[in-house]
C-alpha cells in the first residue's frame, strides 16, 4: 500500500516532458534517456547553438533529498575540467522544475556493451580501460571530489576513450581532511575493483558456482590479482592514494603485455 501511495505521489508531483516539448524556450526534447528515481534525463537539441546536449530534471517528489543533491552535483561539475567528464553547460529552472544541462558524449555505457552486445575484453584490454578510468578518478580526487557511484552504467566508452558520468552521489571534501578523503577514496577504489571484475568476467567461459570466489574462476596474471585484491581490500593492504593504484596498474599492464 505504501508503494502504491508513493507511486501516485510521484505521478502527481513530477512533471514529465515529451518528445517535441521545448524547455525554457531553448531545449527541444529529442528523447528520454533515463527515467530514474531521482531524476529524468533527456536528450535535447539546444535551439540557440544547434548542438545536442543532455538535460537532467530533478524530481519534485524527492524535493528534500534532491535540493541538496542538485546543489552539490552542479557545484562539483562546475569545478571539474577533464576530457573524460562531460562539461556542465547550464543550470536553470522552468515551470518550477530544476534542471541542468551537460555536454552529450556519444558511445555506449559499459553495462550495455557487456550485456546487450556480448562484448568480451581480454585481460590487457580490461587493464587499459581501467587505467583510463583511474586517471579520471585521480583527477577528481585531486580536486577533493569523490564519485561514490563508479559502476558499469556510469562509464561510457566512445571509440576507446573512457568517460565517467553521473555525479549525483559525489561528495566534495576539503583536501585537508585527510581521514575523510582516504575513506571516500577507498570506496572509489573498491568500485574500480568491482568494475575490473565485470570486465574480466566478460571473457570467462567456465562454470560459475554460487559460492566460488573469483580467485578460483578467473585465470589472470598474478600482478592483476594483486591489483584486484588491494582494490577490493581482500587479504592485502588497501590503497590509500591514486598514485599507488596507477603504479600497480602499470606493473600489471607491463607484465600481461610481456606474456602476450
Q: Which residues are designated catalytic?
A: 149
DSSP 123-185: HHHHHHHHHHHHHHHHHHHHTTEE-S---GGGEEEETTEEEE---TT-EE--TT-HHHHHHHH
State the sign of the Cα–Cα–Cα–Cα dihedral 99, 100, 106, 108.
negative
C-alpha cell at 171: 561528495
CA 28 – CA 30 distance, rounded (Å): 6
Residue 214 three-state SS:
helix
Q: How far apart are CA 182 and CA 191, in angstroms?
A: 14
Gyration radius of the chain over CA positions: 20
The DSSP bridge partners found for residue 155 are: 164
Q: To 10 degrees, what angle do helices 222-231 and 178-201 make?
A: 140
Own/partner pairs, 225-229, CB within 8 angstroms, 24+ separation: 226/252, 227/193, 227/196, 227/251, 227/252, 228/193, 228/196, 228/197
Amino acid at each position: 500500500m505504501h508503494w502504491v501511495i508513493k507511486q501516485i505521489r510521484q505521478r502527481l508531483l513530477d512533471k514529465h516532458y515529451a518528445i517535441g516539448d521545448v524547455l525554457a524556450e531553448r531545449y527541444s526534447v529529442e528523447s528520454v534517456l533515463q527515467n530514474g528515481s531521482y531524476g529524468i534525463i533527456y536528450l535535447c537539441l539546444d535551439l540557440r547553438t544547434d548542438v545536442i546536449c543532455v538535460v537532467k530534471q530533478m524530481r519534485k517528489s524527492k524535493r528534500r533529498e534532491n535540493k541538496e543533491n542538485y546543489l552539490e552535483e552542479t557545484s562539483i561539475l562546475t569545478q571539474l575540467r577533464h576530457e573524460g567528464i562531460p562539461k556542465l553547460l547550464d543550470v536553470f529552472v522552468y515551470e518550477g522544475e530544476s534542471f541542468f544541462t551537460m555536454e552529450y558524449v556519444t558511445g555506449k555505457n559499459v553495462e550495455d556493451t557487456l550485456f546487450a552486445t556480448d562484448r568480451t575484453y581480454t585481460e590487457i584490454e580490461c587493464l587499459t580501460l581501467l587505467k583510463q578510468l583511474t586517471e579520471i578518478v585521480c583527477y577528481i580526487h585531486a580536486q577533493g571530489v569523490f564519485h561514490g557511484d563508479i559502476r558499469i552504467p556510469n562509464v561510457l566508452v566512445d571509440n576507446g576513450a573512457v568517460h565517467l558520468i553521473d555525479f549525483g552521489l559525489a561528495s566534495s571534501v576539503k583536501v585537508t581532511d585527510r581521514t575523510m578523503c582516504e575513506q571516500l577514496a577507498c570506496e572509489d577504489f573498491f568500485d574500480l575493483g568491482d568494475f575490473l571484475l565485470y570486465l574480466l568476467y566478460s571473457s570467462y567461459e567456465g562454470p560459475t558456482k554460487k559460492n566460488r570466489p573469483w580467485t578460483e574462476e578467473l585465470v589472470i596474471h598474478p600482478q592483476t590479482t594483486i591489483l584486484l585484491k588491494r582494490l577490493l581490500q581482500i587479504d592485502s593492504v588497501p590503497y590509500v592514494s591514486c598514485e599507488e593504484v596507477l603504479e600497480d596498474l602499470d606493473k600489471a599492464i607491463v607484465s600481461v603485455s610481456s606474456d602476450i
